[in-house]
Structure 1
Amino acid sequence: MTRHTAPSRRTVAKSALLGAAAVLLGPSVARAAEGTAALGLPAPTGPHRVGIRTFALTDTSRDDPWQPGAREVMISVLYPARTVRGFPRAPQLTPAEAREFADLAPAVHPGLPAAGVDWGAVLTHGHVNAPPLPGRRPVLLYTPGGGDSRTLGTTLAEDLASHGRVVVLVDHPGDAGLVELPSGIRWTVLRGDPDPATFRTMIDTRVGDLRFVLDRLGDLPLAPLMDRDRIGVYGHSAGGTAAVHLLASDDRVTAGVDLEGYLDLDPDLVAGLDRPLLMLRTDGFESADRLVRSWEGVPARRVLLTDANHWIFSDYAHLVPQLQAAGLVTAGTRAALVGAGDTAAATALVRGGVRAFFDHRLRASAPPARPRRAPQ
């Protein structure tokens, strides 16, 4: 596999498109030439305010497949907060990520604005370092789409946390479009659609990252909040593929959700899945035929979103329509990303469906533990 060194901001902005595997990390405030259109994320629907803490973790037992050195991951942990008074809301992108992404956006998705957007001004509804509400709660891991940052899944994660869950957003450096590590910004190595060998490396690395995070949950300052007998996993696109592979191979995970991710990488592993799985897809996804074929025979509940497209499962569902309303993207760009339908209704369906699934499958009275499978 070809290894890529980290390119400069200008080089990446002018390079070949990252393609379907690398997408926008999450815009915030769009400023048109005449006037300002403020963009935001919808508030969580649950009874609890949300706290957020971010951690950098290093797995010294694994080499990074994309560059020399030990494997590093970034995670954000969202949780119900006891109070948020005096604790600021977190931005969706760090200042350094936002500065770099300003050049990357139009190369990632043609049709997104090449200027006039402040990518760093959007605020999430997570309050940095807010004290947690006491109690042990189910844990949900999130793995984003190929080339995505973990922050692109903020809206769904905040909603789950506001309803009493601990949600761990996992970044996959080298695969993620860009991510700020303690050592600095790390760019994606992806160029265009990944070939089979690259996709295999992506999924294997993501599953390894998720297992490593599970191993480290007990070491985090927020460990007392986490009921590690009730763990679920969900992911979008390549993250959906990784989520199902983790579910099928690690007995620490009880239930999973696949948000439009292929399941044809390891058909025998997936065919043997014996745990609850929810699968959601859109009618606008350009690779729907392959997706449906890859889902054949998989024991799971299936949900179809109509008048929607692939990125409806991410924060694009909210940001792209606002960019369109501000005159900064066309109707065609919107349709290609999230579809032409009612994105608010789709968001409510996704939020409610995922939440109800995990509420049902991660009840307090968990089933008896089965013997653990050896990690593969």
Structure 2
Amino acid sequence: MTSRRAFLKGTLCGSAAALLPTAASAAAGGGPVLRLPPPTGPYPVGMRTVCLTDPDRADPWVGGVRQVMLTVLYPARSVRGFPRAPQLTRREADVFAEYAPHVRPGLPELGAVDWGAVLTHGHRGAPPLPGRRPVLVYSPGGGDSRTLGTTLGEDLASHGRVVVLVDHPGDASQVELPTGMRRTVLFGPPDPATFRTMVDTRVADLRLVLDRLGDLPLAPVMDARRIGLYGHSAGGTAVVRAAGQDRRVGAVANLEGYLDLYPTPVGFARPLLLFRTDGFDGAARITSSWAGLPGRRMLLSDANHWAFTDYGPLVARLHTAGLVTAAARAALIGTGDPAVTLAEVRRRVGGFFARHLPEPDHAEGPVPLPGRATGRPEAG
């Protein structure tokens, strides 16, 4: 009989690094050169991609077995000779260019930007730094792919964590699986029933990832006793829901996700960061839905909903280039300095996990938060 471990490894779709083009294959577009800000930690960042298959669960959007794509970011021992990965595969970039102005109104029309030329700071296949490190798992916002969490994820990895960015095929705008391209089935705000299906599916995807941590290529450097979840928007909803059902999770950060879809978790005692912007038009619902939960509440000033993602630096650059209007920029990421906003997001999220899932050297006390504070605790 096939062993459970052999079976689990058989359900890993394997490294999808071959799906990623080299930088030289990116088409030379006439638009602005878009760059993601570099991470600030002491370690260079390695990157690997993995596909997981859940043979026991049907995909709610298209049928068949459920598959999810992961990007694993980690502190690397060396990155010499290992290339930086593009943010999107060439095929993903082509689909995103088509969908972007519809999924996020105000983004440039098809042909204005070469999305496939955007490089991350993750080096494909670089050897990991030895040692067992906290694991942080990220769920993106509804309609977004995991790649839009690259900047924050790389920064967390550069400070000594293993970060797993999770794609949720079906509601993500696009995901390239080994079996082909998955496009979103959603356009516009989902109705309550669809949103519940989306969140329930994400919770099950997150549980799958936690169940399979020991089978991932980076398992030897992952400390399964120190697991955190963080998510943006619908991802924030999902990570709180998942943590309420799973005692393996030690800390949770919700980046502006509604929590009124389900009853408030009873006895939710894990450290919880509730982080929102001052510009989001759903602020009243956000604060109301958070009212029953304990947790550290933070407010990001001069910002809007997608400032928590890679849209922050990218939309700001597109606005400077004249490809995004001032109104669209404000509606997407707010009016603040994108560098200051990004620094504050990194500072608050990184500091939260450093306090509650510390490296061994930090076990004796809280870690001081470096840098300038621009966000502020919410009154009350």
- The question of 1:87 aligning with 2:60 is answered no
Q: Give 1:358's aligned amino acid.
A: F
Displacement, 1:106?
2.1
CA–CA separation in structure 2 for the residues paired with 1:329 and 1:192: 20
CA–CA separation in structure 1 for the residues paired with 2:217 and 2:286: 39
Cα pair 1:29 1:38 within 8 Å, conserved: no
2:160 is aligned, of 160, 164, 170, to 164
Number of residue-to-residue matches in the alignment: 336
**Given the superposition, is the C-alpha separation of residues 45 and 364 from structure 1 closer, same or farther in structure 2, using an over 3 Å criterion?**
closer
**Given the superposition, is the C-alpha separation of residues 29 and 256 from structure 1 closer, same or farther in structure 2, using an over 3 Å criterion?**
farther
Displacement, 1:47?
0.3
- The question of 1:227 aligning with 2:223 is answered yes
Residues 121-160 of structure 1: pairs in structure 2 closer than 5 A? 121-160=117-156
Specify the alignment match of 2:192 in structure 1: 196
Specify the alignment match of 2:281 in structure 1: 286
Cα pair 2:137 2:228 within 8 Å, conserved: yes
The percentage of counterpart residues that share the same residue type is: 67
Specify the alignment match of 1:301 in structure 2: 296
Residues 311-350 of structure 1: pairs in structure 2 closer than 5 A? 311-350=306-345
Q: Give 1:85's aligned amino acid.
A: R
Q: Give 1:354's aligned amino acid.
A: V
Cα pair 1:29 1:40 within 8 Å, conserved: no
CA–CA separation in structure 1 for the residues paired with 2:242 and 2:28: 38
- The question of 1:265 aligning with 2:265 is answered no
Structure 1, gaps ≥5 residues long: 1-27, 367-376
- Other structure's SS at 1:321 match: helix
Cα pair 2:156 2:163 within 8 Å, conserved: yes
- The question of 1:174 aligning with 2:170 is answered yes
Residues 19-98 of structure 1: pairs in structure 2 closer than 5 A? 36-98=31-93
Q: Give 1:144's aligned amino acid.
A: P
- Other structure's SS at 2:50 match: strand
Cα pair 1:233 1:253 within 8 Å, conserved: yes
Higher mean C-alpha deviation, range 192-201 or range 110-119 = 110-119
Displacement, 1:175?
1.3
Displacement, 1:196?
1.1
CA–CA separation in structure 1 for the residues paired with 2:244 and 2:28: 42
- The question of 1:360 aligning with 2:355 is answered yes
Q: Give 1:237's aligned amino acid.
A: S
Displacement, 1:31?
5.1
Q: Give 1:313's aligned amino acid.
A: F
TM-score normalised by structure 1 residue count: 0.87
Specify the alignment match of 1:6 in structure 2: none
Higher relative contact order (CA closer than 8 Å, sequence separation 6+): 1
Cα pair 1:30 1:38 within 8 Å, conserved: no
Specify the alignment match of 2:22 in structure 1: none
Displacement, 1:283?
1.0
Specify the alignment match of 2:23 in structure 1: none
Cα RMSD for the two superposed structures: 1.7
Displacement, 1:29?
9.8
Specify the alignment match of 1:218 in structure 2: 214
TM-score normalised by structure 2 residue count: 0.86
Cα pair 1:284 1:339 within 8 Å, conserved: yes
Cα pair 2:32 2:113 within 8 Å, conserved: no
**Given the superposition, is the C-alpha separation of residues 191 and 37 from structure 1 closer, same or farther in structure 2, using an over 3 Å criterion?**
closer
Higher mean C-alpha deviation, range 98-107 or range 77-86 = 98-107
In the TM superposition, what whole-angstrom CA distance separates every residue of 1:51-100 from its partner, at most 9, and x where no partner exists? 00000110001111111101100001000001111110010000110122
